[in-house]
Amino acid sequence: MVAHVTLSYAEVTSAVKHALRRVGADEANAKIVAHHLALAEASGTSTHGLAQLSSYVIDIENDRLVPDAKPRVIRDSAVTAVVHGGWTFGQVGAETAVGLAVDKAKASGVAVCGLVACHHIGRLGHYVEWAAERGCTTFVWVGGLGEEDPRVVPHGGADRIVGTNPIAFGFPSLTTDPFVFDFATSSIAGNKIVEARRKAVKLPVDSIVDANGEASTDPEDFFDGGALLPFGGHKGYAINLAAEWLGRILIDSASYAEDSKSNAFLRRQGVLFLAISVDALADGESVRESADEMHDRISASRPARDHSRVTVPGMRSAESRRSSFENGITVDAEIWDQVRALAEP
């Protein structure tokens, strides 16, 4: 059984900031990343929380991540922008890009911003939740993850071709939690395979195939030449490719990969943020009220026999955050020991 510790938000963010400052991050970047990792843990998404810290430190030490760099806008118009992430933490670049998309959408009704030259951006739900609080419906599409490290077979295929290509969507509300979904377009996120392997647990059925293309639930089979399946058969496969077209090809993110002296910055992933103001097409308050009504109607509907209630996407994460900030954030004890070791002088 996995042991856990309960910590305050301040304890978690302080340790992460110390760890990142030790390897060259400036205060502003370290603060952003610490907030993202703590919020992922609080939201119940531990795969995108503290477990990511050690990989960030390793990439800094191997010149694959510039801890004190700042994003810059390299293309700009009234309703579009492209942000060059500067190869710093993906969360820093993504905050810049989604912030631009929301500001432009609030001014013009709709806006789209791309992010290139970026590292791992963390939990996508964070960005659409943030945008929803500011009155924007927002889509996030990530593509190009398979250019260096393909993990997913195409529908009907046997070779790894594409990445997990996650997507997210958020819709603002008036009094209820915003409608939010955030998931990989593979059967499961790649980080969940790593976590299952570490915890020595089986994967869900229809998640992966082994090296021979046979269905498996053993995470070791993935690392022995197997692959992830796209979610939802041919339909999920099509959405996976949509993320590839929008997140990489449309913004030409691969062209920003740099063959540096250390051959470090070769990530070709890109991220597309599309924001639509809640006031763009109708009265914003009426739109929010309709969103609340739909939220309440769904959550009040009868649950099936094997379910205790009906939820709306985003509810569980929001409830987890409220509980975490009231009662403390529950963290895997082994991961917390790793974080403390990285933070200590």
DSSP string of 102-146, one letter each residue: HHHHHHHSEEEEEEES------THHHHHHHHHTTEEEEEEEE-TT
Partner residues linked to 82 by β-bridges: 75, 114
On the question of pLDDT at 148 being above 90, the answer is: no
Q: How many domains does the chain have?
A: 2
- Quick one: what percent of the chain has pLDDT higher than 70? 98
Among residues 54, 66, 108, 62, which one has the least CA distance to residue 90? 66
Average pLDDT, the chain: 94
On the question of pLDDT at 221 being above 70, the answer is: yes
Q: Are residues 170 and 293 in the same domain?
A: yes
Q: Are residues 278 and 316 in the same domain?
A: no
Query: Once rounded to an integer, what is the mean pLDDT over residues 3-23?
Result: 97
Residue 165 lies in a domain: yes
Residue 196 lies in a domain: no
Q: Are residues 47 and 77 in the same domain?
A: no
**Residue owning tokens 């205060």:** 27
325: pLDDT confidence band, cut at 50, 70 and 90? Answer: very high
Residue 317 lies in a domain: yes
283: pLDDT confidence band, cut at 50, 70 and 90? Answer: very high
pTM higher than 0.85: yes
Among residues 192, 189, 222, which one has the least CA distance to residue 208? 222
**Residue owning tokens 């955050």:** 321
**How far is C-alpha 61 from the geometric centre of its chain's CA atoms?**
23
Query: Once rounded to an integer, what is the mean pLDDT over residues 145-161?
Result: 90
Q: Are residues 334 and 282 in the same domain?
A: no
Residue 212 lies in a domain: no
Environment class of residue 14 by beta-carbon count within 10 Å: exposed (0-12), middle (13-18) or buried (19+)? Answer: middle
On the question of pLDDT at 27 being above 60, the answer is: yes
Partner residues linked to 29 by β-bridges: none
On the question of pLDDT at 156 being above 60, the answer is: yes
Query: Once rounded to an integer, what is the mean pLDDT over residues 111-135?
Result: 97
Q: Are residues 164 and 271 in the same domain?
A: yes
Query: Once rounded to an integer, what is the mean pLDDT over residues 109-115?
Result: 98
Query: Residue 261 has what pLDDT?
Result: 45
Residue 284 lies in a domain: yes
Diameter over CA atoms, the chain: 61
Query: Residue 259 has what pLDDT?
Result: 55
Q: For residue 26, what are the domain limits?
A: 1-68+312-345
The answer to whether 118 and 70 have CB atoms below 8 angstroms apart is no
Query: Residue 264 has what pLDDT?
Result: 60
